[in-house]
Amino acid sequence: MIKNGSIHNGKPKRQCKECGRQFVINPTNKTVSDETKQLIDKLLLERISLRGIARVTGVSWSCLQNYVNNKLASVPRQIKVSDKLKGKLVTECDEMWSFVFSKTIKVYIWRLIDRKTREIIGCYARR
């Protein structure tokens, strides 16, 4: 085991001579409490930026990004579509746009939503 610099908070890093693995001898693993995770979930539903959530909760941005990625991976990818009854259907259309890859490529997205069930009926994207 040899000395190999230090991490961001000044703790010394070590490196194994045989395998080359880097580590800290006494790491301080801070776990995120369940209350903080619930707060993060609520703030995500409010569509607050990840940097803003990290500032409010005191969780590091990289830890928050990992939490969001794991949360996304646990969401089922199957879309459950229910049959609509024949008759009057009250819909709502949303239009939004975003830049894709660079600010020169602007993409418009239209969504058609059933007002009663809040299900997305249709979606269309165009440059």
* Per-domain residue ranges of the chain: 1-30, 31-75, 91-126
Six-digit token string for 91? 């819909």
- pLDDT, tens digit, 9 for 90 and up, residues 31-84: 889 999 999 999 998 889 999 999 999 998 889 999 999 998 988 877 676 677
CATH class of the domain defined by 31-75: mainly alpha
Angstrom distances, CA of residue 52 to CA of 33, 55, 63:
18, 5, 14
Tell me the pLDDT band of 123, cut-offs 50, 70 and 90. confident
The average pLDDT across 115-123 equals 82
Of 68, 74, 8, give the one whose Cα is nearest residue 32.
Answer: 68
